[in-house]
Copies of this chain bind each other. A is one copy, B any other.
Amino acid sequence: MQLEIVPCRSCPLRELKTFARNSDAQLAFIQALKKQEVNLKRGEQILPEGGRTGELFTLLFGMAFRYRTLRDGRRQILNFLFPGDLIGLQEQIAVNSPHGVESLTDVKLCAFAGENLWELYRQHPRLGYDITWLAAHEEHIVDDNMLSIGRRTAIERIAMLLIHVFKRAEQSGLSSDGSAPFPINQQHIADALGLSLVHTNKTMRRLEKLGLHRIENNRLRLLKAGVLQRMADYFAMPLRARPLI
């Protein structure tokens, strides 16, 4: 729990060209919606799987992931979350949270009261439209991952994941000097790609020997992005400026 709260107006995310600008009126409304700022450590639960918090978050800093598990413990990571991503929208719709969200790094979250979501649509339809944008965009990412898990080979999946994480980190301002933070261990990768831990390790070692990328000190660097893209048949689409709530 942090004492000083950053006003939305001067939110550092809003300086990135990734995000669309908002009017002063919209910013004031978003500011009013904001309940508090939450800081969590790496490895904490942001949303409990199957639980209900009634809260809606925007990830301000750090990385996280959405996941679901079967009763015997098999876990599937649905997608990774980056600054600007909305957390908890599905809970506003289903009665219980169908998935969990866990932090991958220390994170900073902006917390809204979920009950106010409808007010947002009523008073600022444009922001409602933006939320739909974010929901559809996240679904698009899940679609990508599903194509991967269903139809790509292990090495293609890993290549795809590396490109995806790199691009998203770059867009959300987490990268610097050509390398992106990579707080994702091999168990995470296995769970995200539908592979076993052991096979993930062997495949990553194989890919590493090709010299297309490098992971050092929890940072990822793509050395031959073009080759990786062709290997995975994966080309992240360019995006117009995305909304930020």
Known: A89-B136, A121-B125. A146 touches B147 (CB 8 A): no
Q: Which residues of B contact A9 (CB under 8 A)?
A: none
Would you give the 0/1 interface string for A23-43, flagging 1 where the beta carbon is closer than 8 Å to chain B? 000000000000000000000
A135 adjacent to chain B (CB < 8 Å):
yes
Partner of A68, one of B98, B117, B143, B240: B143
Interface size class of A (residues with CB under 8 A): 35 or more
Determine if A90 is an interface residue (Cβ-Cβ < 8 Å).
yes
**Residues B143 and A70 in contact, CB atoms below 8 Å apart:** no
A224 part of interface (Cβ distance < 8 Å): no
Residue in B70, B93, B137, B138 whose beta carbon sits within 8 Å of that of A133 in the complex: B93
Residues of chain B within 8 A (CB-CB) of A71 are 233
Specify how many copies of this chain sit in the oligomer.
2
Q: How far is the CB of A98 from chain B (nearest CB, A)?
A: 6
A149-157, A168-176, A204-212: which lies at the B interface? Answer: A149-157
Chain B residue numbers with a CB within 8 Å of A95 are 237, 240
Cβ contact of A146, chosen from B93, B145, B152, B233, cutoff 8 A: B145
For A139, the closest partner residue in chain B by CB is B139
Please tell me which one of the listed residues B93, B117, B129 contacts residue A137 in the complex, with CB atoms under 8 A apart. B93
Q: Give the docked Cα–Cα distance between A117 and B129 (Å).
A: 9
Least CB distance from A97 to B in Å reads: 10
> Among B98, B140, B147, which residue has its beta carbon within 8 angstroms of that of A94?
B140
State the Cβ distance, A42 to closest chain B Cβ, in Å. 23
Contact across chains for B152 and A149 when beta carbons are under 8 A apart = no
In the complex, A75→B137 CA distance in Å?
A: 21
Complex contact B98–A136 (CB within 8 A):
no
Q: Across the interface, which residues of B come within 8 angstroms of A140, CB to CB?
A: 90, 93-94, 98
Is A99 interfacial (CB-CB < 8 Å)?
Answer: yes
Separation of A121 and B122 alpha carbons in the complex (Å): 9
Assuming A75-B151, A128-B132, what are 15 further A-B pairs, CB within 8 angstroms?
A76-B150, A78-B146, A78-B147, A94-B239, A95-B240, A96-B237, A98-B143, A121-B129, A121-B132, A135-B135, A135-B136, A139-B142, A142-B143, A142-B146, A146-B149
A residues near B (Cβ < 8 Å) are 66, 68, 70-72, 74-76, 78, 89-90, 92-96, 98-99, 117-118, 121-122, 125-126, 128-129, 131-133, 135-140, 142-143, 145-147, 149-152, 191, 193-194, 233, 237, 239-240
